[in-house]
Amino acid sequence: MELRQLRYFEVVAREGHLTRAAGLLGIRPTSLSQQIIALERELGAPLFHRTPGGMAPTDAGRALLPYARRSLAAAEAGARAVHRVADGDRAWRVGVTPGAPAGVVASLRTHAGDADLRDLPVSRQLARLRDGTLDMGLVVLPADTGDLEIRVVGDVPLGVLMASRHPLAARDELDWGDLRDQDLLWFDRDLAPGYHDAMLDAFHAAGWRPRRVRPGPPRRSLFAAELAHTPSLVAMRPHRDEAVGADLTWRPLPNAPRLRHALVWDPSHPSAARLRALAAELAAEAGPHADEGTPRGRAADHPG
């Protein structure tokens, strides 16, 4: 039984679909199918039920899955140990923008468990990536990444977050015109100037010019409290941020701008190939619809 076959098996089990799994692995579906069949023959049991809608693990497949995941995790840990020696036993220094997607941060800890995660605004991350004092960053887009390599790991639509007693909270859906005469609780531009300006431009293009733009407090609890107790005040946040408190309500908007997070690194970094592979793995885990499976809560601190 090869480690490669276990990886193929784990991705198919996680995705539930051969073609989708093949796309994530970067191989042809026929090749992936052949590898799964070869593993089943070696083990002497079918690992998947094949249906027109996809593939689901059999009892044997479910029994194998936790052992496959432990084996893959052990192999990754061993590879990291070797790389640490090769890099002089130095952990990667990874910048994390305030309020980065909790699922991506958790994946970073899983796949680069020894990484030194540093809470830094986007502008400081970019400067440190360029002067070599940071190995990788997790930033909100758009940002000044022209000479850097990026991989998007989060892409979610924004909506309106407000107090549950706000008059607009009684509606199931909102239009941009409904936000007329509302103040916007936003964030300090220094945290992420590119995203700050791009989102305000998008709001204006959609027909909404906030009556007043107020920088919000950085702490999640204070931000939620200000929203909950201030009339005519709304924030623009992803759906998951409704979890910040029972006193808040989130509503979607048509053609809403999107909050995008990306991993970024210097392509001339000595370990650029490994950083690129890590980013690809995290992007694959996030999937094509990161908003559908992102853990709720911590991301309420994000700048926006």
Distance CA 18, CA 16 (A): 7
Q: Which domains does the chain have, with CATH numbers?
A: 3-86 (1.10.10.10), 91-304 (3.40.190.290)
pLDDT digits (tens, 9 = 90+) for 238-284: 886 544 556 889 999 999 999 999 999 999 888 899 899 999 989 98
- The DSSP string of 57-102 is E-HHHHHHHHHHHHHHHHHHHHHHHHHHHHTTSPPPEEEE-TT--H
* pLDDT over 80 at 172, yes or no: yes
Residue 198: which pLDDT band, with cuts at 50, 70 and 90?
Answer: very high
Q: 259's torsion region: left (phi>0), alpha (psi -120 to 50) or beta? A: beta
Residue 284: per-residue pLDDT: 86
Place of tokens 């190995």: 135
Residue 19: per-residue pLDDT: 87
pLDDT digits (tens, 9 = 90+) for 101-159: 888 888 888 888 678 899 999 989 999 999 889 999 999 999 989 889 999 999 999 99
Rounded to an integer, the average pLDDT of 53-79 is 90
Would you say 134 and 100 are in contact if contact means Cβ atoms under 8 Å apart? no
Residue 287: per-residue pLDDT: 67
Joined tokens for residue 208: 């909404």
Please enumerate in sequence order all residues whose Cβ is within 8 A of that of 106, keeping only pairs 6 or more positions apart, or say none: 295
* pLDDT over 50 at 63, yes or no: yes
Rounded to an integer, the average pLDDT of 281-295 is 60
Q: What is the mean pLDDT of the chain?
A: 85
CA 5 to chain centre: 27
Would you say 161 and 227 are in contact if contact means Cβ atoms under 8 Å apart? yes
Residue 84: per-residue pLDDT: 57
Question: 245 versus 173: which is more confidently predicted?
Answer: 173
Rounded to an integer, the average pLDDT of 20-28 is 81
Would you say 125 and 134 are in contact if contact means Cβ atoms under 8 Å apart? yes
Pick from 183, 155, 170: nearest CA to 251: 170
Torsion of CA 278, 280, 281, 282, to 10 degrees: 90
Give the three-state DSSP class for 188. Answer: coil
The stretches of 87-236 forming alpha helices (DSSP H) are 102-111, 122-131, 193-205, 220-229
- CA pseudo-torsion sign 58, 60, 63, 68: negative
Residue 110: per-residue pLDDT: 82
Residue 8: per-residue pLDDT: 92
Query: Full-prediction pTM beyond 0.85?
Result: no
Residue 114: per-residue pLDDT: 77
Place of tokens 């690992």: 47
Residue 286: per-residue pLDDT: 78
Cβ neighbours of 75 (radius 10 Å): 13
Is omega for the bond preceding 142 within 30 degrees of 0, making it cis?
A: yes
Residue 296: which pLDDT band, with cuts at 50, 70 and 90?
Answer: very low
Residue 20: per-residue pLDDT: 84
